[in-house]
Structure 1
Amino acid sequence: MKKILWFGVLFPLCALLSGFSAQSEVIYTKKSLYRDIAVVEEHGLRCLIFALVKRDSVQTCQYQDESDSRLVYAYSQMVMGGLLLNPQPQKILLIGLGGASIPNVLSEVYPQAKMDVVELDQAVVDVARDYFRFRQTDNISVTVADGRVFVKRAGMQKKHYDFIILDAFTGDYIPEHLMTSEFLQEVKKLMTDDGVLVANTWGSSRLYDYESATYRYVFGRFFNFKVTPEGGNRIIIASKQKLPSKSVLQQRAQPLVDKLARYNVLINRYPSLMSTQEDWDTSVRPLTDQYSPANLLR
């Protein structure tokens, strides 16, 4: 998940952000239909920030040196763990663009793969293009739309993908209509028989038990991928097929080591961190369109 930064309401956006200093340079600001957006530079990093009412949320950071392709945050590195279930994706769907660090890497590693990117906010697409080296190509298509609407239409059009990434965040958390069992069922219908779903979530979320129960209800057993036992990013990796064993994951990791090393993705370490253990309250109800996160948090 994106990093959350707290700051005093009396200070301007560029000052006294946790993780940034008063010397941070705000190089771009935009008020879109959905949020205030800023691009900030400091210490060789360029970061996309969604300015919220009570706090700011860093969506993506990228090294300013164009020759440095390393992924900055753990969540974007961890998303690549889905490649252990499908090492050669040919048709990719990404819901949530942000600063485009994930599609940038995937398009370099798999230049022949076709990729559909869905982003709600046109302003985010513009920023990713102008400040974060995101480029549309013949193989990369961008649709400005709600992720759920796109998935519904894709299902009606009989589209299928072998690698699907859910990475849509409002700044506070995942939009509630992209967390329900009805939505995940629609996503599942888009998956090829060997398709993989990778979802970026948060280990300390108050919805952890409910999210887990929902994915378990729709997909059965899934990989729970966490670098730290408590808190931090939690990547859910699900498949329509029986999940591979740890030894198979380790075998699949070896050919990917050199491909992903330059992006700071230590793929050979991931199998030991991917668990199918149910570490949540299994008595909770799955989330539905009627039983939503908003209801739970009231």
Structure 2
Amino acid sequence: MFNLMIRICLLLGVCSTLQAKDIIHTEKSLYRNISVVKEDSLLCLVFETRKDNPPYQTCVDETDKKRLVFSYTKLVLSGLLYKPEADHILVIGLGGGTLPMTLKELLPEAKITSVEIDPSVTKIARQYFDYQEDDRIDTVTQDGRLFIKRAALNNKQYDWIILDAFNGDYIPEHLMTQEFLQEVKQVLTDDGIVTANTFSESKLYAYESATYQSVFGDFYNVKRRNTGNRIVLATNNKSLKPLPVIKQNAEKWQTAFDVFGVDSDWIYHRFTPEKDWDENSEILTDQYAPVNLLKND
């Protein structure tokens, strides 16, 4: 079976960077080459890219499946420190389905909609990563921007929108622009929040920051220094909740977070309102979204 997998991945062109891993599954979808690999106790989803070492999109620790492996996934839970209750959650980008399944347990009353453009990703999430839909979790196979446009036309609104779509190299450029974020804002409730998974070390850092500020005003950066992880936490309100309130919420969430191996105080200390970018940076628009800046040297 393993030799068969090697032959398949050679045909798909994904073996060059994955030969050292135990390849569990490979397939070529409409959008990308996808692999599921095993490394020690971790089972991981990989989107093939032009990079020598493509980043893992999702990992599950098979010895403790609820434990959140990635820092960025933990940082997304900053949304709960800012807004402890949410009835309707929208997740753009599925990966292995870790976030919807975690939020389902943390928020027992919430309805969660996951939007994923690639049906192969959804299929793999179900087959390998225990992603399960039910009356509280729904999956829509559609481009995230198209979904939000249609949601606005149908007057749908969400308390919390999580932007977590990646194509393997970076965020799809049409999900980074001012026009897109304005559409996102249209489907937010009055006290709704957005948590967007981006990178603090990207050449687009200042452009992205200026773009979010142009739509939402001041926002919190939630990030780890000296890593690539950065969550933009923006709100539909003109003023941000003060840090002491967020700290109080962190203390309330700690027991629930323990199940997932998450330290809520660690997340709290990643919050900063600091504007550490050039506020005169150009705003990303549908006409100006420089793809050449998506990759670092």
Q: Same fold (TM over 0.5)?
A: yes
Q: Tell me the equivalent position of 1:57.
A: 55
Q: Tell me the equivalent position of 2:4.
A: none
* Shift in alpha-carbon separation, 1:63–1:295, aligned structure 2, 3 A: closer
Query: Structure 1: which amino acid aligns with 2:229?
Result: N
Q: Tell me the equivalent position of 2:234.
A: 238
CA contact (8 A) 2:197 2:231 kept: yes
**Deviation of 1:53 (Å):** 3.5
Instruction: Describe the SS at the equivalent of 1:286.
Output: coil
* Shift in alpha-carbon separation, 1:207–1:143, aligned structure 2, 3 A: same
- Write out per-residue CA displacement over residues 145-203 of structure 1, whole angstroms, 9 at most, x where no aligned residue: 10000000000000000011000000000000000010000001111111110000001
* Shift in alpha-carbon separation, 1:276–1:32, aligned structure 2, 3 A: same
Query: Structure 1: which amino acid aligns with 2:57?
Result: Q
Count residues with an aligned counterpart.
282
Structure 2 unpaired stretches of 5+: 1-9
Matched, 1:99 2:96: yes
Q: Tell me the equivalent position of 2:210.
A: 213
Matched, 1:127 2:127: no
Instruction: Describe the SS at the equivalent of 2:113.
Output: strand
CA contact (8 A) 1:211 1:286 kept: yes
CA contact (8 A) 1:214 1:287 kept: yes
**Deviation of 1:231 (Å):** 4.2
**Deviation of 1:72 (Å):** 0.3
* Shift in alpha-carbon separation, 1:16–1:180, aligned structure 2, 3 A: closer
Q: 4+ runs of 1 displaced by more than 3 Å?
A: 12-17, 295-298
Q: Tell me the equivalent position of 1:82.
A: 79
* Shift in alpha-carbon separation, 1:112–1:233, aligned structure 2, 3 A: same
Q: Tell me the equivalent position of 2:280.
A: 283
Structure 1 unpaired stretches of 5+: 1-8
Q: Residues 1-298 of structure 1: matches in 2 within 5 Å?
A: 13=14, 17=18, 22=20, 24-55=21-52, 56-65=54-63, 67-228=64-225, 230-241=226-237, 242-294=239-291
Partner Cα distance (2:293, 2:46) in 1: 27
Partner Cα distance (2:282, 2:51) in 1: 30
Partner Cα distance (1:268, 1:296) in 2: 34
Identity %: 46
- When normalised by structure 1's length, the TM-score is 0.90
Partner Cα distance (1:297, 1:133) in 2: 32
Deviates more, 1:213-222 or 1:269-278: 269-278
Query: Structure 2: which amino acid aligns with 1:146?
Result: D
RMSD: 1.8
**Deviation of 1:282 (Å):** 1.1
Instruction: Describe the SS at the equivalent of 2:182.
Output: helix
Query: Structure 1: which amino acid aligns with 2:108?
Result: P
- Write out per-residue CA displacement over residues 122-166 of structure 1, whole angstroms, 9 at most, x where no aligned residue: 000000000000000111111111000000000000000001100
